[in-house]
Amino acid sequence: MPLSSQGKAWIEVFDSDVACIIDVLCLGEMGRSCESRSHNRAFRMLINVSMTMVVAPLTFLWDGRWQDPSSVPGGTDTLSMDVCLDFLYAIYLLLMLEMSYLHPEQRTEIVTSRKIRRWRLWSPIYWLKWLSVTVHVWAAALGWPLFINTLKVVRGGVFIELPDSLWRLRDSSEVRLTKPIILLIGVSHWVACLLFCFGGFLENLQQFGPEASETTFRGEVIDGKVSSYVVAYVEAIYMLTGALDGPTGDGAREGHFGALIIVVIFAPIGQLVVSLFIAAIVQEQDLKNALDKRHNENKAFMQRAVQTLGIPKELQRRVFSMHYFQKMSHDIEAFQILFDGKNLSGALSSALKIYLYKESVLNCAYLRDKDPNYIIEVVKILHDVVCLPGEYIARRGEIAHQMFFIARGTLSVLVPDVDHPNDVSYAKAVRQLKLSDYFGEVALIKDCVRTAWIRADSYALLSSLSRFDIEPVWKYFPDYKDELSEQVSQVAAKDKKRNAQNRWKNVGLGEKRKKLMEYKAKVQAEAEAPSSRKTARGSILAASIHDEPDDQAVLESGDSAALNSQEPADETTKMLTELLQRQTGLEKKFEEQGRTIAQILEALQSRPGDLPPLPPPPTPPPKKVVRKLKVKRAAGAGMPEEAEEQRPDSVDVDDPEAEPLLGEGSSIGPDAEEAA
C-alpha cells in the first residue's frame, strides 16, 4: 500500500502496520492494536444503526413533522437524538472511503485507495445511505412529513451481513441463531409504526380518543396510545411470521385501505422470514450434529460388518468400546480433518503437534536437550495409537520395528517365567509405565523380536515412532542415532547380567549342585588357595552369564521398559555367595556323617550270626526297665572275651530297674540301617 496522500487506506478486514499508524494519527486511538481498532469501529457503527432502527420509526408514528414537535413521541428530544445519530453515521460514511473491503466475487481484500473509492462511489447503496443522513434537512426545509425517515431502513443491511472486520463473530453459531430473531424484532417495530400511522390505528385514536384504547395491567391503566402501539406491534409480528388471522382487517384495521396495502406488501415478506428462521435453525442443527452424524454412520457400518462376519459378542463389545472412546476422548474423524494438508500449513501443523505432545513425547528423556529441528522432525512422523484396557500393545515373540511413547493411561510390563516362557498367564508384572515413559527403542536400531508383554491397564493413548520413518531423519542427525546405539549397548549389558542372576536364582537346588560339580574340576588348582571358594563362585556366575542365550535378553526385543525392575546387583551377589557357602557346609557335613554311618554298618554286619533278633517292643511298655548285661563265656562262642563283655546278651523285661537297650520301639534291621 503506497504511503502518499492519494494511496492511504485503513484496513478494515486485516489491518497492516502502516494502516495502524494512519489510524492512530487520524482517529487518536492510541494504545490499541490495529485489530482492536477495527473491531471498535464496527461495533460503534452497529450501535449507531441499532439506535437509529429504534428512534427513526418513532418520528412518524403519529405522523410527526418538524413544525409540530408534539406530533413526535418524546418531542424535541427524539428529534435531536435522531439528528445526532445521523451526524455520527455521516462520519462513518466518510471513513468508509478509506477503509478496505473484501471483494464479494474475488474474495480478496482491496486495500488501494483508488479502488476503494471507486467501489464506494459507484455503489447505489452507498448513496442511499448518504441520502438517509439528509432526511431531517429536507423535512425541516420543505416541511415534508417525517415519514421519509423510512429511507433509513437501508442502514439495517449490516444486520443481514456483518462488517468484514467482524468475520470471527459472523461465523459463530450464536450470531447465526440470534440474527433472525433480532431482524424480526427490528422489522416488526418498523411495520408496527407504519401500520399505526397508515393502517387505521392513528385515525381510530383521533376519533375515539386514547381512553377507548386503554388497557390495564395488575389494576394499573395503560395509556391508550401505548396500548394501540402494542396491538399494532403484535399484528406486525403475526403478519411477518405468516400467522395473521384476519388479513382483511379487524378492530382498528377493519375497513381501512391502508391496512390492506400494508398486509399485501408485508404478508409475502412474512413467508420469507419464516423460511429464514427454519433455514437458520436447520443449518445450525446440521453443523452442530455433523460430527455426531459421521460417528453414527461409522457405527452403523461397523455393526453391519460385525454381524455379517459373525463376530462373538465379547469382541463386538471391545470394538464398540474403542469406537466410544475415540468419539469422546480422541476423535479420529475430527483430527483427520484438522491435520489434513489442505486445511493447515506445514508450520501451523508442526506448531499444533508440538503443543499436543508437549506433556508426553517432548517431556521424555529420549528427546530431552535435543536439537529443536530434530524434535520437530520426530513429531511430524509420530502416529497415535489407541488401546483398550487389557489389550497387549507388545507380545513376546512378535517382530518389533516401533518405539512407543506414553501420552495417556498406564501400562504394565510382563516378563516371561523361566519354566513357562511362552505362557502370559505365568508372566510377572515388573514395572508400570505412565505419562512420558517410553519403550521399544531398540527396535529403531536393529531387527529384533519382543520378549516381554506390554499390557494396557486403562484406556491408553500412545505415540508410535517407526524405524522406517526415523531412518531418513537420522541421515541428517547421525549423532543422535549413535547416541541411541551406545545407550542401547550399555543397557543391554546390564540387562544380560540381570537375566543371568535371575536365572541362577530361579534354578533348583539339584541343578545348582550339578553346576557346582561340573565346575569343581576346573577350579581344583585354585581351591587350595584361601580365596578358592570365592573364585569358584565368581567363575560359576560368570559362566552362567556367558552361557545365557542371546534371545533371552530383554533388550534384544526392544522392551527396555523391564530393566529397572529387579534387585540391585550387589544384593544378588551377596545372596548367591551366602547360598554357596551354606551349600558347601552342608556337603562337608553329609560326607562326615556318611563315613560315620559306613563304619557303624560295617561293625554291625561283620558278625551277623552272633546278633540275635530283638523282640518287638512291649505294648504297653513297662513303667521301668533295667538293662542287665549277661556275658556268655561259653566255649566255642567264637567271640573274644573283651568284646563279649561289651555286647549285651539279653534284657530282663521283668526287672523294674532295667533300662531299654535301644529305647522304646527301637529295632535293628534293614529299615533301621537305611534310616541311619
Convert the pLDDT of each residue in 291-338 to its tens digit.
888 888 888 999 999 999 999 998 999 898 888 888 888 888 888 888
Please tell me the least confidently modeled range out of 53-62, 80-89, 94-103. Answer: 94-103
Lowest mean pLDDT among 346-350, 543-547, 561-565: 543-547
Q: Poorest-confidence range of 252-261, 351-360, 496-505, 525-534? A: 525-534
Q: pLDDT-based confidence at 660, cuts 50/70/90? A: very low
**Cα-trace Rg, the chain:** 51
Query: Which of residues 532 and 480 earns the better pLDDT score?
Result: 480
Residue pair 138/148 in contact (Cβ under 8 Å)? The answer is yes
Mean pLDDT for the stretch of residues 531-558? 44
Distance (Å, rounded) from C-alpha 313 to C-alpha 409? 26
Is it true that the peptide bond before 620 is cis, omega within 30 degrees of 0? yes
Residue 82 CA to residue 132 CA, distance in Å, equals 11
The predicted pLDDT at position 507 comes to: 56
Q: How far apart are CA 357 and CA 46, in angstroms?
A: 43
- Give pLDDT, residue 540: 44
Of 55-59, 282-286, 293-297, give the range with the top mean pLDDT. Answer: 55-59
- 31 versus 108: which is more confidently predicted? 108
Strands 428-433 and 411-415, bridge-based pairing: antiparallel
CB of 271 closer than 8 Å to CB of 314: no
- Which residue would you say has higher pLDDT here, 39 or 440? 440
Per the listing, cell 544380560 goes with 496
Of these ranges, 48-62, 318-332, 507-521, 522-536, the one predicted with the greatest mean pLDDT is: 48-62
Predicted confidence at residue 502, as pLDDT, reads 64
Dump pLDDT digits (tens) for 342-356: 788 888 888 998 998
Q: pLDDT value at position 181? A: 85
Residue 151: CB atoms within 10 A of its CB come to: 17
Global pTM value: 0.56
pLDDT, residue 467, reads: 93
**pLDDT for residue 465:** 93
State the Cα–Cα distance between residues 364 and 437, nearest whole angstrom: 6
Residue with cell 491435520: 339
Residue found under cell 563362585: 537
**pLDDT at 652 exceeding the cut of 60:** no
> Which residues have CB under 8 Å from 389's CB, separation 6+?
456, 457, 458, 459
Please give the mean pLDDT across all residues of the chain: 75
- When mean pLDDT is compared across 52-56, 526-530, 572-576, the lowest value belongs to 526-530
Helix, strand, or coil (residue 53): helix
Angle at which helices 173-198 and 34-58 cross, to 10°: 20
Q: Is the pLDDT of residue 612 over 70?
A: no
Alpha carbons 349 and 346: distance in angstroms, whole number: 5
Per-residue pLDDT at 607: 52
Whether residue 420 is predicted with pLDDT greater than 80 in this model: the reply is yes
- Beta strand 448-449 with 438-439 is unpaired
Task: Of 361, 353, 496, give the one whose Cα is nearest residue 441.
Answer: 361
- How far from chain centre, in Å, is Cα 79? 60
pLDDT, residue 470, reads 93
CA atoms of 405 and 353, how far apart (whole Å):
14
Among 186-190, 272-276, 389-393, 649-653, name the one with the lowest average pLDDT. Answer: 649-653
- What is the arithmetic mean of pLDDT over 484-508? 73
What contacts 126, CB < 8 A, 6 or more positions away? 93, 96, 120
Which residues make beta-bridge pairs with 405? 438, 463
